[in-house]
Structure 1
């Protein structure tokens, strides 16, 4: 059995804002303004990050992940647009979860702008379906559509002309992302992490938590190592006699707050599905065992 050693998160040594102290509005680079939605929670961290993207002076902006349909958030986004002297020309959505997509169609109507996403359910009637590898020419700049399935099946990221990547829930500014079950897929998630890593991003602008600019590649390598670590922990727990998801979560996520245990259970189920696919564990009714 391989030793189970937790990988070191490189962000622990970075000067990131403490939880609950993120600025409500920030300009991480000239192309981007981040507006923090007022929906903090154990799962959304400080709240959902809505990003406005556009070439300065173009008079235009793209809204990426409008987030909750909240009048306070809309007012903050409109103030940020006014500061950029920009009007909205498109609304893009990384994936269908409500904390990212709820406001997409209402705001599309409000701004008179088309909505674009990976699925018709999010893009809505008359919306635009985005294709992997597509290059969008919008707001005086380019956004490359990067497929990043894993957290959800429909997840996308957007690479900016600056080299930064808007990663939605694929990578978080703090902690690690959940691979949802049954729609999430750990094998796809690992491949997506490698895909974003191979882009050599200059920064990661996350759907939740602070911007990651010091060494984005190190964060992506940590995410890959963290998944391998959790997988080995599950195998060790199974070898020690754990059989149900609840038993596995109690062992593997013993140091995780109770509020996020349901998310840990989802990632556990998704990892077990990977191990079943690989023939390393076998289902046994509502239980599992090492093959």
Structure 2
């Protein structure tokens, strides 16, 4: 399929989507920037540092003022274009806190944007007020990264990388935290949002159903890991090869990070322990 790059796609009144040309196994067809509002706009997740994508955002503004540039988190496929967009429009960068960490070992998905510099950091429940009474509400959703935010606009939720309809979310330590991610999924489960607009992939039109399924999937993966390490002590590559048969080799590092995140959560709960040779096993207390 031909991805609609650099084209402003109306989604519903007051919401437009623009797709950046940065496809990959982790971004699907690319990062989606959203413009919300009517006479005054907010740009959500301006995307990677691609001049043609910034130009497409500016064209989509069509002379209307940009009230803010809102970033869900600081991976390099989400926030770097905030600087060029701020320079072009004068709009402040508002949203997640700055964060620049490297994961243990090589990273398969996008690394952190070390130059991200927000003018204002939003805490959970704080808002961006714009366009004569419109409001963008920050919903703290740590897990994929510790600084991740979703943004609610009416009954629509812009979910960044926290929930995506086309793929599960990468959770890679040390900053990715599985326990925090599960709690954040539960936060969304308790909300009544009509639709999700993720940063990658199609809109989620049955969000409550999807979130319930995601929680179930993660619990199933947890039980699978527990069964594997109960059979014999295993290192992470052994667990990945057993739990993800036939996995695309490009995704193996991400799967290893996810398994490690699960193991750290299980260790905190006293269900597994690390042994010699970087091998993991069930604790005697867990049965």
Provide the TM-score with structure 2 as the length reference.
Answer: 0.88
Mapped contact 1:120–1:127 kept (Cα < 8 A): no
Of 75, 78, 88 in structure 2, the residue corresponding to residue 100 of structure 1 is: 78
What CA RMSD, in Å, does the superposition of the two structures yield over aligned residues?
1.7
Q: Cα deviations across residues 115-174 of structure 1 (Å, max 9, x unaligned)? A: 01221457955710111111221234111110000000000000112x010000001120
Mapped contact 1:22–1:210 kept (Cα < 8 A): no
| Residue 180, structure 1, aligned to residue 160, structure 2 | no
Match of 2:28 in 1: 45
Match of 1:70 in 2: 50
Mapped contact 2:46–2:82 kept (Cα < 8 A): yes
How many residues align? The count is 265
For 1:144 and 1:95, how far apart are their aligned partners in 2? Answer: 15
For 2:171 and 2:30, how far apart are their aligned partners in 1? Answer: 19
Q: Structure 1 248/126 Cα, relative in aligned 2: closer, same or farther at 3 Å? A: closer
Of 252, 259, 266 in structure 2, the residue corresponding to residue 275 of structure 1 is: 266
> 1:86 offset after TM fit, Å?
2.1
Which range moved further: 67-76 or 151-160?
67-76
Structure 1: runs of 5+ lacking an equivalent: 1-19
> 1:258 offset after TM fit, Å?
1.3
Mapped contact 1:115–1:124 kept (Cα < 8 A): no
Mapped contact 1:68–1:103 kept (Cα < 8 A): yes
Structure 2: runs of 5+ lacking an equivalent: 100-112
Match of 2:67 in 1: 89
Match of 2:201 in 1: 209
Q: Structure 1 29/65 Cα, relative in aligned 2: closer, same or farther at 3 Å? A: same
SS of the equivalent of 2:168 reads: coil
Of 149, 159, 173 in structure 2, the residue corresponding to residue 156 of structure 1 is: 149
Of 214, 236, 239 in structure 2, the residue corresponding to residue 223 of structure 1 is: 214
> 1:208 offset after TM fit, Å?
0.5
Mapped contact 1:148–1:170 kept (Cα < 8 A): yes
For 1:154 and 1:62, how far apart are their aligned partners in 2? Answer: 20
Match of 1:110 in 2: 88
Mapped contact 2:54–2:84 kept (Cα < 8 A): no
Mapped contact 2:80–2:116 kept (Cα < 8 A): no
Mapped contact 1:90–1:115 kept (Cα < 8 A): yes
Match of 1:17 in 2: none
SS of the equivalent of 1:266 reads: helix
Mapped contact 2:98–2:147 kept (Cα < 8 A): no
For 1:124 and 1:182, how far apart are their aligned partners in 2? Answer: 20
Match of 2:13 in 1: 30
